[in-house]
Chain A
Amino acid sequence: NAGVTQTPKFQVLKTGQSMTLQCAQDMNHEYMSWYRQDPGMGLRLIHYSVGAGITDQGEVPNGYNVSRSTTEDFPLRLLSAAPSQTSVYFCASSHTGGVGNTIYFGEGSWLTVV
């Protein structure tokens, strides 16, 4: 995948623990976003950002925080993990500006909350 790096690849958390999923891109993309993927549900948007200092909620934001202090990085924070947050998380990035943009995905982070 072109230039979107996610860490960690795999993580197991206990209920109530906090953690941060890291996402970085080196393509100078303005737009970054986080999705979660659950069986039979496709990809659902958690939070997104159209530029440094700007974030907004997606379809399923509850239980997650984000920040965008730099263009390159867009971390996703779970403040108090719950079993319902067991999922595969994908970070994505693209240039903004509408038609013609290609959205690139990271390779995913597999999170299990026990």
Chain B
Amino acid sequence: GQQLNQSPQSMFIQEGEDVSMNCTSSSIFNTWLWYKQDPGEGPVLLIALYKAGELTSNGRLTAQFGITRKDSFLNISASIPSDVGIYFCAGLKGGSEKLVFGKGTKLTVNP
């Protein structure tokens, strides 16, 4: 089955640093979603992107829908300890209801 290529797999950063992660695919997606998962919980939607080139912010988080529709990026500015968790990208193709997930980026923030 297809999954998105998400990188990096893990990140260890200091509090206050900025974070960047991305997802790529060989296929075109019509919707890109970014989720965060805390330990013992289900994924929670952070940002949804619906148009190529779209740049959307949610507080300190900014995500972009790549122009080619084959990639997306998530940036976190001025990280804080509560940003710790696993971040997943997910994509929806046109005419499909099936969400395809990346394997996740595990973020650790050192105080």
Contacts and interface: CB of A to CB of B under 8 A. Distances in A.
B45 A102 contact: yes
The list of the 7 closest CB pairs from A to B, nearest first, reads A59-B1, A105-B42, A42-B103, A42-B101, A43-B101, A107-B42, A105-B43
20 contacts: A1-B41, A1-B42, A4-B42, A33-B97, A40-B103, A43-B88, A44-B1, A45-B99, A50-B97, A58-B98, A92-B99, A94-B97, A98-B31, A98-B95, A99-B31, A103-B33, A103-B99, A104-B45, A105-B42, A108-B42
Contacts of B111: none
Interface residues of A, number: 31
A43 B98 contact: no
A90 B88 CA distance: 14
A48 B45 contact: no
Interface of B: 1, 3, 6, 9, 30-31, 33, 35, 40-45, 48, 50, 88, 90, 92, 94-95, 97-104
Contact of A103 (B6, B41, B45): B45
Contacts of B44: 1, 105
Contacts, number: 71
A53 interface: no
Given A43-B88, A48-B97, 14 more contacts: A1-B42, A42-B3, A42-B101, A42-B102, A42-B103, A43-B101, A45-B100, A90-B43, A98-B30, A101-B31, A103-B90, A105-B43, A106-B42, A108-B42
